[in-house]
Each structure stands twice: as C-alpha cells, then as structure tokens.
Structure 1
Amino acid sequence: MNLDRFMNKRVPSNKRYQPTEYEHAANCATHALWIIPSLLGSLLLHFWSEDQWARLSAWVYGAGLSSLFIISTLFHTVAWKKSHLRSVEQCFHMCDRMVIYFFIAASYAPWLNLRELGPWACHMRWLVWVMASFGTTYVFFFHERYKLMELICYTVMGVFPALVIFSMSEQSGLCELLVGGACYCLGMIFFKSDGIVPFAHAIWHLFVAMGAAVHYYAIWKYLYADTPSQVQTAR
C-alpha cells in the first residue's frame, strides 16, 4: 500500500515534520470538532456552581479546555492554508505549545479549589500556575530548540500536581483521573511518531480529546453534579 499520500518521510529532530494534505485536514478536524462541546461544557459547569469558588474554577477550567481546542485548530489551519506566512505560523505554533501549560494548570484548578486535600493544596493552587508560567516562558525563548525537553516539561507539569490530588481523603473521581492521564500518556507515543505512523498527530489529538473528556466527566460528576457539600467554604 502506497502511504505517500497519507504520510511524508520522517525528518531529523532539529526540523519540523511537514504533514500531507490529508494529515493537515485530520489535524484540524480532530480538535475543531471539540470546540463547541468544550464551550457548552464550560457553561454547564458554571450553571451547576454552588458558590464563587465553584464558578471561578468552572471559568478557569473552561477557559483552559476551550483554548486548547481553539488555538490548536487555528494553528493547524494556518499551517495548512497559510504556511507561506512563516512569522504568523510560528506565532500560532508557539501559542499552541504555550496553551498546553495553561490547560494542564486549569485542569487541576477544580480539584485544588473544591476538594479538601490537606496542607499542600493551598501551595499547589498557585504552584501549578508558576510552573505554567515557566513553561510558557521556556517556549517563548526556546521554541522547537530542545524538543525532548519540551516533552519532559509537559510530563512533569502533568504529573507533579497529581501527587497532591492523590492525597485527598475523598477518593471519588480518582479512577477517572488515572484513566484520563493514561490517555494522555499513551497519546504521547503518537505525538512523537510523525513520519512513522500515518496521521500520527491526528491520533494524538484524539487521545487528548479522550483524556479531556474523561477528566471533564470526573469534574462534572464529582465536583459539581453529585457532591456540592464537598465544596470548601473556607479557604
């Protein structure tokens, strides 16, 4: 089977892989489809909010979730249709990488704000944003220069705050958090497989969408729909 239409040859680590036309279309579609659901889901959390902390957490999480899909779709659309505008494409690519840090921090916000997690929670609430700030700064100065380091930064950012989450006395939602995290981890295999697996980046997008969907379900079910009494009233 001839894969030339569906996948280009792998490039050296210091260069960016150039998707085929089919891959470009798949990269756009696999995140564009989730823009409207992410916006509607954010509104749903807002309507289910019991107090100002729940509303704040809903908006922060919703902004991170929606921004991830919106900016990713914009970048891949520009990379597909406006690749000749190199500075514009570069700007969107940097934003696409930066928003991942914001999304990770925003995904932890509801758990850190609305669950009783012990003494470390109050520190982790702001520490995740410090980590996100360092990550975005790193992208600004070293974008695409050290690709393995970027992957390590994303992994540390995603795993480190979970050490506090696992300490919560109320264990409901923990299974979903692990399943969603596993989706992200498995997806990383395809994130680094451009030129080896056809549509590798689009498959990575699907794993991201699955992980985000599982985590959204856990936030909605255990922090908003079922257990409003667990929302902290004093912080």
Structure 2
Amino acid sequence: MKRVNSFQRFMNRRASANCRYQPTRYEHAANCYTHALLIVPAFVGMALLHRLSDNGWERITAWVYGMGLCALFLVSTVFHIITWKRSHMRSMEHCFHVCDRVVIYFFIAASYTPWLNLRELGPLAAHMRWFVWLMAAAGTIYVFNYHEKYKVVELAFYLMMGFFPASVMTSMSNTEGLQELACGGLIYCLGVFFFKSDGRIPFAHAIWHVFVALAAAVHYYAIWKYLYKARGADSLLQL
C-alpha cells in the first residue's frame, strides 16, 4: 500500500477519452530535460554531416535531416516547458502541442531522406523520395483538423509512416546500414508502449523520450557511418 502511495506522488490518473494527460511536476521536469539535453548534440551532429558532405546534394540532405532532428528535440522541449509553466499560456500551449505532433511527421520524413537521396533506388522506390513528404503533409492536415480527438488513429498514422517507406529500402543495391535502420525502428516501436502508458507507469512519457533519443542515435550513427563517413573515405582514397 505504501508503494502505491509513493507512486501517486510521481504519477496522476489516466486522462479521460479525448483529453490530454496532465503530468505531475516531477514528470514535467523529466519530460523537459530528457529532450532539452539533446538539442545541442543534434545541432553538432547536423554540422558534422554538413562538413562531411562532398557536394551540394549531400549538403542539402544533411541540412534537411539535421533540421528535422533538431526541430524534434527543440519543439518538444519548448512545448513541455510551456506546459510546465502554463499559468498564462493556454493558447501558446495548444499551439506548441500541435507543432509537437506535426514535427514528428516531418522528423520521420527527414530520417528517411538521407537513405532515399543518397542511395541508388529502383524506379518505383525512387518515388518515395517525394511521397514520404506528401505523407508528412497529410499528417499535418490531420493534426490541425482532429488534434487530440482520435488518438489511436493518430498513432496508427505515425506507425504507418514509419514503416511504409521502409518497404522500399530492400530495393537498394547497397544494403549496408539497413540492420541499424531496423534496430532503430524496433526501439521506436518498443517506446510506443510507454508513449501510451501515461497514468499507468510513472514517468512514462519521459521514458518514451529516452527511447526516441536512443533510436535517433542509432539512425544517426548509420547515416554517419554508411552514407557520409564512407563517402568521405572514398573521396580521400581517390585523392
């Protein structure tokens, strides 16, 4: 009984249907710090890929991917800070909550961009380069129209967008890095359990943030190693 009471200090009751969960002050702090600490590393990582780029197309790709990565952690942090200190920021809180959801769609698209732009793809798979952004735009329209109304549908959209572009990756002539890509995807999927566990597990959303950070790190490592570092090494050998 004492253990249950101690958990109640760190966790509120589950939210009712079509309502957002209200974290405790401890959960608010964890939600902020778990992504705030990754903002600077994300910018550094983008700069590193940009420096390793050999041509304009690689630099653009590094910028698109890096901005998606940075925006994810930055917008998430700002939203959680505003939510934590929301006394006179109701409209701004809603605005950043919508932005937080929208950024996830564009982050998924940006995460696929290096693979779709810098690897040779089959004729059908090549269309995924623009289709993944079309899906992000469709997800954005959905969020603006049905924000917090159909949470299961929204989660299904995220998962569909995460898995559907992966179906074309097998058409690559060079499949190096796909194991890391799959590993990162698995980490995201495991984290979804905590994403949907607010009010059941203390600090569930912060734990979800940790899973996002781990998966993003695995994907960044694969992009750095197989798409940028390898190309840079080839260029040095040619010199």
TM range (shorter): over 0.9
- 2:91 is the alignment partner of 1:87: yes
Query: Which of 142, 145, 160 is equivalent to 1:141?
Result: 145
Higher helix share: 2
Alignment size in residue pairs: 231
Q: 1:114 to 1:19 in 2, by over 3 A?
A: same
Asked if 2 retains the 8 angstrom alpha-carbon contact of 1:223 and 1:230, the reply is: no
Displacement, 1:230?
8.9
TM-score (norm 2): 0.94
What residue is the counterpart of 1:8 in the other structure?
12
1:182 deviation in Å?
A: 0.5
Q: CA deviation at 1:24?
A: 0.1
Gap runs ≥5 in structure 1: none
CA distance, structure 1, for counterparts of residue 7 and residue 197 of structure 2? 15
Shifted more, 163-172 versus 105-114: the winner is 163-172
Q: Residues 112-155 of structure 1: CA distance to partner in whole angstroms, max 9, x if unpaired?
A: 00001211232111000100000011101110011001000000
Structure 1 residue aligned with 2:133? 129
Q: TM-score, normalized by length of structure 1?
A: 0.95
Determine the C-alpha separation between the residues in 2 that align with 1:216 and 1:86.
Answer: 35
Partner of 1:105: 109
The answer for the alignment partner of 1:187 in structure 2 is 191
Aligned residues: CA RMSD: 1.4
Aligned partner (choices 32, 36, 43) of residue 47 of structure 2 = 43
Say yes or no: does 1:30 pair with 2:41: no
Aligned to 1:144, what secondary structure does the other structure show?
A: coil
Q: Letter of the 1:69 partner, please give it.
A: F
Give the distance between the partners of 1:13 and 1:192, measured in 2 at CA: 13
- Does residue 200 in structure 1 map to residue 199 in structure 2? no
Amino-acid identity (%): 64
CA contact under 8 A between 2:52 and 2:232: conserved in structure 1? no
Q: Deviations over 1:30-74 (max 9, x none)?
A: 000100000000000000001111101000000000000000000
Distance 2:55 2:87 in 1: 46
Larger Rg: 2
Shift of 1:165: 1.3
Q: Which residue of 1 aligns with 2:77?
A: 73
